[in-house]
Structure 1
Amino acid sequence: MLRDPFLNEEFQPDLMWFIGVFDVYDREETRGAELEVFNPNDRFDRAELIKRYSLNLGYLSYRHKLVLMDFLAEKLSDASYDFQSLFDIDEEDAGSWPRGEWYALEDPRGFLQDVYLLAQEAWKEDLLLASLEDRDSW
């Protein structure tokens, strides 16, 4: 069984692995200042954000990456999946985005589609390696 990299339990894929890195709650002066120069609705800024932050997850193994990509592909193929809900932060939650645009992205599905496309390239070797293994042995 594939284990969570931080908890001693089974790994549960979640799209927040890709976008949770943009949460700046209690880090507004550091991470927030770093991220607020980017506009997530601009395709060039978005690509830079994804490459620099969403895919720079050194704590995930090649196996975790494949499981996450499969999960993301499943959600992208579901036309009714509400991608905006991933970016909704309740006022009572301990979380915040770096800029107002994050709360109402023009195309939240497109953001995750870009994650998928860029990860295909950035994680190419890891995904191939994991795909050659028997998942039952994990």
Structure 2
Amino acid sequence: MRLRTVLAALALTVAAAIAPALAVQPGEMLGDPALEARARTLSAELRCMVCQNQSIDDSDAELAHDLRVLVRERLAAGDTDVQVLDFVVARYGEFVLLKPRFSTRNALLWGTPVLLLLVGGVFAFASARSRRRTETKLSDEEQAALSRILGEAER
């Protein structure tokens, strides 16, 4: 019984490790191993527009297949890795990149939450300071009444 469980877990682990490799069909692969390695590296950097949480290298979607073929065609035509990525980004937009490039728009996107936290912290600090300043002292009558109430509460 225990051996079956271990073998089943091992089979599932092997299947999970092999499954992404099965997304690339043998007919898509390039004859040159160096070009194929570059294509696999580039495919791992590009998002499947259908699945959106997978690279085109891992996806079985038809659009991912088309993008894998496009990457391989561009590499076979002599494009550099940067030229291939630029071509795909020009065609599909920057969303196709799993790791977006740094730009002013991205900096604003990532910097806004930090900026909002800083502004909120400054506002909270200023608010606390102004509250401390506006605290009023008790008048002599109020102080006497408070002392009398606290004195009665102690008894």
Q: One fold, TM greater than 0.5?
A: no
CA radius of gyration, larger in: 2
Which one has more relative contact order, counting CA pairs under 8 Å at least 6 apart? 1
Which band: TM-score by shorter chain? under 0.3
Q: What is the TM-score with the length of structure 1 in the denominator?
A: 0.27
Q: What is the TM-score with the length of structure 2 in the denominator?
A: 0.25
